[in-house]
Structure 1
Amino acid sequence: MKVAVLGAGIIGVTSAYQLAKAGHEVVVIDRQTGPALETSFANAGEVSFGYCSPWAAPGIPQKALKWIFMKHAPLILRPKFDPAMLAWMTRMLANCTSERYALNKSRMLRLSDYSRHALATLRDETGIAYDERMRGTLQLFRTQAQVDASAKDVKALAADGIPYEVLDRDGCIRCEPALGHVREKIVGGLLTPNDETGDCFKFTNALSRKAEELGVRFSYGTKINGLDVEAGRVKGVLTDSGRVAADAVVVALGSYSPLLVKPFGIKLPVYPVKGYSLTVPIIDATRSPESTVMDETYKIAITRLGDRIRVGGMAEISGYTNDLGQARRRTLEHSVTDLFPGGDVAKASFWSGLRPMTPDGTPVIGPTKVAGLYLNTGHGTLGWTMSTGSALVISDLVSGRRSEIDAAGLAISRYTSVKSAKQQDMIFPSRIF
């Protein structure tokens, strides 16, 4: 079968690799000059199989009001007249209940744990290197209130059999020795030991080369103008270089996916939420992290990538904008220097990317009402984490095989099916759009 994968980020490249392994003839189409040059370029570096939660959670609306007045706020809202933004925010707020949080987190943990095994297998079969470390994620709490609030996450981890450790101050320092220099600033933490770290850009580029060895063709510098759909079935992709025939098309365009499928009546609730990062050269390893530390106060991840520290986080809801606000840089610098002053922030590179977020946190993976058209998008901050598992799921679906995990609740049908929330396939009525 001829399969066109749209997008050469981490999701598109992993999908192409697995589809080629399944025996398909695969072409990847992307407007950039190479793989992983947009949202996958300089993300936080976390591969967070255990630290995996929807942003829509109980208490978030109240926290959001407080964050508005914080100097170093983890959430920045720049409202504009944008019906898609309003619809997405409405749906996200509707997910901020205990019942929906538990449902969404369970879905996400199921997919991320599948990805954990898939990444290990892929690493063994390819031997690729990407500044990888397997030392876990430490969710760091500066206040007792944060410790208390983590109980819901502990409950969800336990329910899904995900390993975790609740740590006191000394336990955090044993896990991350550099925190001994700032012990008075921390109260406790939650460690998910199976989490990993790595450079997503390096990984994606290395895997794209392995995909080429399997016969995948990459068409870079190619603008996608639309889809060729006849009688309810996709027939190909329309580009500025001509039509590309395909028996199946996998849309992995991140935040831009909704724009491509909208003309066919597919209402995909994915919206860009901008994140920022710094990449800081290490000058003192004794005051630098060993793995990933998630600063819960600022929602910022501080990750060791070889001889660099990647500092990533924040959520800016401002539409399709990629400007670099200096206030955001100051927040990243504040978090990392407050805990790990072992890097030279003056020489750091500053970056932003558009995370493709769904209102319930779970990505959209599966078929659409257009025959042969599939979605693999909406992974938000967890594209790197969920990529390998998502690629296997989409490869199985395209190939007509049953997925190794329960894929219920992953497809776009969960937003339109007339079922109860307990049946896991209807979160909101489509009329909200």
Structure 2
Amino acid sequence: MKIAVLGSGVIGVTSAWYLRQAGHEVVVIDRQDGPALETSFGNAGEISPGYASPWAAPGIPMKAVKWLMMQHAPLILRPRPDMAMLKWLVAMLGNCNARDYAINKSRMVRLAEFSRDCLIELRAQTGITYDERMQGTLQLFREESQLAGIAKDVAVLKADGVPFEVLDKAGCIAAEPGLAGSAAPIAGGLRLPNDETGDCFKFTNALAEMARAAGVEFMTGTRIARIVEEGGRITSVDTDRGPVTADAYLVAMGSFSPHLVRPLGLKVPVYPVKGYSLTVPIVDEPLAPVSTLLDESYKVAITRLGDRIRIGGMAEISGFNMDLPEARRATLEHSAGTLFSGAGDFSAASFWCGLRPMTPDSTPVIGATRIGNLFLNTGHGTLGWTMACGSAHVIADIISARTPAIETADLALSRY
């Protein structure tokens, strides 16, 4: 079959790769001039299956009120007359209970663990490099109350067979020696030794080159106007370079996916949640992180990417706003600066933002739609990099009418 993949972020490119490996003719269409130039460009760099947790959790509404009042707030809400925002917030709050949290986390971990296995296999098969490291993730708690509250997450990790370590301050410093000079209090940490790190932009572009060499066509710099449906099937995609026809169509356009399929009568509950990052050159290597550290107090990830430190985080609900307020930069600098003081040159840092495509239950939408030849791979939120290879493998199997290696029924749009 010929498959048209709409979107060339990490989700679109990995999907194109696995579809081509399954024997399909593949064309990728994107408005940008190259792959991974939007949300996949400057993410936090962590591949953390064990930390695949829903944002919607018991106690989050009360925590959100506290966060909104903080100077360096991990959550920023900019209300606007936007019915999609309101519906998404209401649906997300509806998932903030113990039952839904357990269901959502279990399926997220299932997909994320499978995705890590797929990435390991892909790396072995292709030799792809992307400033990758396999040295685990440390979730650091500045306060004793944070450390005391990890019981529910530890229970899920045990149930899913995910290796972990609960560390005291000395254990945290042993895992991340740069913390020895930290000015911040360290109550302890939760470490997942099997997690990885890497530059998502480098990975996506390297895989795109391999896909091109394998025969995938990339139509970059091409704007998609609409998807054309006739007789209950998609017949073409209208672009500013003319119509593109295929046997099947895969929408992998992140936060923009709902707008594209809404005229077809499909309601995809994905809303943009803005995140920020700083990329800082390392000036004193012994003081720098060796892998990824998650600063629980500010919900910021600090990741080593080669000779750079990537500092990413925060959740801003403000629609498709792409401004770069200095207050957000200050939060990233505060988190990393108090933990790894002197490691990087913040004056030479690049400041970036991206729109994470979030669903109310934090689980991506992967699978078929009621339109027979239209498929979705979107809504990965903060875990697009973590879940990319597994999501792509799954959707390639579904489109190819093969049985996926993991359960996928609860990932489809039909769950809504």
TM-score bracket, normalised by the shorter chain, equals over 0.9
TM-score norm. by structure 2 comes to 0.99
1:364-394 CA-partner distances (Å, limit 9, x unpaired): 0000111110000000000000000000000
CA drift of 1:183 comes to 7.4
Is contact 2:184-2:339 (8 Å) kept? Answer: no
Find the residue that maps to 1:50 and give its secondary structure.
helix
Where structure 1 has 5 or more consecutive residues not aligned to the other structure, the ranges are: 416-433
Return the letter of the residue paired with 1:321: N
Q: Is the 8 A contact 2:292 2:302 kept in 1?
A: yes
Q: Which moved more, 1:235-244 or 1:308-317?
A: 235-244
1:408 corresponds to 2:413: no
2:116 is matched with which residue? 116
Could you say which residue in structure 1 is the equivalent of 2:323? 323
Q: Residues of 1 paired with 2:187 and 2:329: CA distance?
A: 26
Q: What is the one-letter code of the residue matched to 2:39?
A: T
Matched residue, 1:158: 158
Equivalent in the alignment of 2:389: 388
Matched, 1:55 2:65: no
Q: Which residue of 2 aligns with 1:238?
A: 238
In the TM superposition, residue 182 of structure 1 has moved relative to its aligned partner by 2.2
Distance in structure 1 (CA, Å) of the matches to 2:271 and 2:148: 31
Paired residues of 1:277 and 1:312 also in contact (CA < 8 A): yes
Q: Would you identify which runs of 4 or more consecutive aligned residues in structure 1 move more than 2 Å? A: none
Cα separation, 2, equivalents of 1:145 and 1:96: 20
Q: Secondary structure of 1:3's match?
A: strand
The answer to whether the Cα contact below 8 Å between 1:169 and 1:183 also exists between their aligned partners in 2 is: no
Paired residue secondary structure (1:409) = helix
Q: Which residue of 2 aligns with 1:21?
A: 21
Please, what TM-score do these two structures have when normalized by structure 1?
0.95
Pairing 1:19-418 to 2, within 5 Å after superposition: 19-182=19-182, 185-341=185-341, 342-415=343-416
Q: Is the 8 A contact 1:167 1:188 kept in 2?
A: yes
Letter matched to residue 398 of structure 2: L
Q: Which amino acid aligns with 1:265?
A: G
Structure 2 distance, partners of 1:336, 1:184, is: 10
Contact 2:184 2:338 in 1 (8 A): no
Gaps of 5+ in 2: none
CA distance in 1, matches of 2:388, 2:317: 24
Inter-partner Cα distance in structure 1 for 2:338 and 2:103: 35
Instruction: Tell me the distance in 1 between the aligned counterparts of 2:40 and 2:305.
Output: 15
Shift, 1:164, TM fit: 0.9
Per-residue CA distance 1:165-201 (angstroms, 9 max, x = gap): 1111111111111111127610011011111000000
Root mean square deviation of aligned Cα? 0.8
Distance (Å, rounded) in 2 between the aligned partners of 1:300 and 1:184: 14
Identity, % of aligned positions: 65
Structure 1 CA distance for aligned equivalents of residues 324 and 184 of structure 2: 33
Amino acid of the structure 2 residue aligned with 1:223: R
**Counterpart Cα distance in 2 of 1:246 and 1:352:** 33
Give the counterpart letter for 1:307 in structure 2.
Answer: D
The one-letter amino acid paired with 2:369 is T
Measured after TM superposition, the shift of residue 408 of structure 1 is 2.2
Distance 1:191 1:228 in 2: 48
Q: Indicate if the aligned counterparts of 1:51 and 1:195 stay in contact, CA closer than 8 A.
A: no
Q: Which one-letter code corresponds to 2:266 in the other structure? A: I
2:251/2:375 contact within 8 Å kept: yes
Deviation, 1:83, is 0.4
1:321 deviates by 1.1
